[in-house]
């Protein structure tokens, strides 16, 4: 698991990055702090990483912060939304969708970070958005049980209906023939052609996170110590993974985030709990077996997570197939042809320091951009200090703590 970076958002307003390195003694994978960032002024809500290494994070301060994981510096901030951003997804490395509690969905062009379009149709909080593999269709769900279908060719609302319950998330299957609705205690797989439910899978506990692994296989985590690996179309349970600390009998937390990443022909599942523990598994989907890789205690309250590697990036799902979002741009925000900045890279793909090319409308640049590893040494030492002083690696229970 080399060259992998795990980025978590916390209830303490922090973004923290960890690199997966080999233990010097037995060469087993271990997590080591790589950076911290405290630019947000509220608890983190969402973290997304693009395949090119752009880190986007949102919090209860209504902003989106952008960083380059390759260049280790902050790119800028997006302030278009007037509510907390609940969902962010990168599509084909050229676009990002952000869905907010202000009832809007913004489509961003990642080369210039200009807003191409603002989709308006929800009358309440937008919970999540998902883009069809073709790039021509998007689905979004709201806190008022609304289900909206968007035509991305025209940028207009194509269809809307009411669901029976408030959905927490929505996904397309890789084929695009079905979509998956995530509710508090069940998952519904629906046909895209007629919106009928094809398969419903209930759970005994509240679902907090769902992650696409491969084809129709998803991982589900919630208010329980176990993660279920499920074929959603068949309703078949393939594996059960334990998110608890090794040899821990009582589990007093919940699974908060799940991400999956492909490396060396293997699927690696990374699980984060609300109490701050991160655990990784190697999955063998042919034999339906798993292997525990590492366990780490961060001692912060985790609210969001994204994973990045040199070969791919995920935000709880596999990388999307390459396709173009064909949405017609709004003339009022049309991007000039010479503005082609993308996370510190030029059109040729080479890194560039010409940050002055960034359009000022949506992005606020930081003048003093310094290496995160230098500017955050004190915070990193503070985070590592409890781990060094703890007795034989055992975590200390915080009295009266309520995990968010």
Task: List, as one string, the DSSP characters of 153-190.
Answer: TTTEEEEEEE-SS--SEEEE-TTSSEEEEE-SSEEEEE
Do residues 81 and 62 lie in contact, with contact meaning Cβ atoms separated by under 8 Å? Answer: yes
d(C-alpha 358, C-alpha 365), whole Å: 8
How far is C-alpha 333 from the geometric centre of its chain's CA atoms? 27
- For 126, the enclosing helix (H) or strand (E) is strand 126-131
Mean of all residue pLDDT scores within the chain? 82
Q: What is the pLDDT of residue 266?
A: 84
Picking from 291, 289, 282, the residue whose alpha carbon sits closest to that of residue 262 is 282
d(C-alpha 395, C-alpha 391), whole Å: 8
If one compares 222 and 266, the residue with the highest pLDDT of the two is: 222
Tens digit of pLDDT for each residue in 166-208? 999 999 999 999 999 999 999 999 999 999 999 999 999 999 9
Tens digit of pLDDT for each residue in 55-104? 999 999 999 999 999 999 999 999 999 999 999 999 988 999 999 999 99
| Alpha-carbon dihedral angle through residues 71, 99, 177, 201, given to the nearest 10 degrees | 110
Query: Beta-carbon neighbour count of residue 11 at 10 Å?
Result: 18
Average pLDDT over residues 142-155: 96
Q: What is the pLDDT of residue 265?
A: 77
In 3-state terms the chain splits into helix, strand, coil percentages (rounded to 5) of 5, 50, 45
Tens digit of pLDDT for each residue in 254-310? 999 999 998 777 899 999 999 999 999 999 999 999 999 999 999 999 999 999 987
* Residue 382: pLDDT band with limits 50, 70, 90: low
**Angle, vertex CA 237, rays to CA 318 and CA 20, nearest 5:** 40
**pTM of the entire predicted model:** 0.78
328: Cβ contacts below 8 Å, ≥ 6 apart: 153, 154, 155
* Residue 28: pLDDT band with limits 50, 70, 90: confident
| Maximum average pLDDT range among 57-61, 327-331, 348-352 | 57-61
């Amino acid at each position: 698991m080399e060259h992998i970076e795990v980025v978590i958002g916390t209830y303490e307003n922090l973004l923290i990055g960890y690199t997966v390195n080999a233990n010097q003694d037995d060469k087993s994978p271990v997590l080591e702090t790589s950076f911290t960032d405290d630019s947000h002024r509220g608890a983190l809500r969402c973290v997304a990483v693009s395949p090119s290494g752009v880190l986007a994070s949102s919090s209860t301060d209504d902003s989106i912060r952008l960083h380059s994981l390759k260049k280790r510096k902050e790119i800028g901030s997006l302030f278009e939304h007037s509510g907390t951003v609940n969902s962010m997804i990168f599509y084909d490395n050229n676009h990002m969708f952000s869905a907010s509690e202000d009832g809007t969905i913004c489509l961003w062009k990642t080369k210039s970070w200009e807003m191409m379009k603002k989709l308006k149709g929800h009358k309440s909080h937008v919970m999540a958005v998902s883009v069809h593999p073709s790039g021509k269709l998007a689905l979004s769900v709201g806190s008022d049980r609304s289900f909206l279908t968007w035509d991305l060719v025209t940028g207009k609302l194509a269809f809307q209906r009411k669901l029976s319950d408030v959905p927490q998330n929505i996904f397309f299957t890789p084929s695009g023939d079905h979509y998956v609705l995530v509710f508090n205690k069940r998952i519904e797989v629906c046909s895209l052609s007629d919106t009928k439910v094809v398969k419903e899978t209930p759970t005994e506990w509240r679902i907090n996170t769902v992650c696409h692994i491969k084809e129709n296989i998803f991982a589900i985590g919630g208010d329980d110590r176990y993660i279920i690996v499920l074929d959603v179309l068949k309703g078949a349970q393939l594996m059960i993974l334990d998110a608890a600390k090794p040899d821990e009998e009582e589990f007093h937390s919940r699974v908060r985030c799940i991400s999956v990443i492909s490396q060396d022909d293997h699927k690696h599942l990374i699980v984060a709990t609300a109490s701050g523990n991160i655990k990784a598994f190697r999955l063998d989907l042919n034999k339906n077996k798993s292997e525990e890789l590492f366990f780490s205690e961060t001692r912060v309250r985790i609210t969001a997570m994204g994973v990045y590697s040199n070969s791919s990036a995920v935000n709880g799902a596999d990388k999307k197939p390459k396709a173009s979002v064909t949405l017609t741009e709004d003339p009022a925000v049309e991007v000039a042809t010479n503005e082609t900045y993308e996370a510190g890279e030029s059109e040729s793909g080479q890194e560039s320091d010409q940050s002055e090319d960034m359009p000022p409308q949506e992005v606020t640049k930081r003048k003093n951009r310094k290496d995160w590893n230098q500017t955050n040494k004190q915070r990193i030492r503070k985070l590592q200090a409890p781990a060094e002083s703890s007795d034989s690696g055992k975590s200390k229970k915080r009295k009266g703590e309520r995990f968010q």
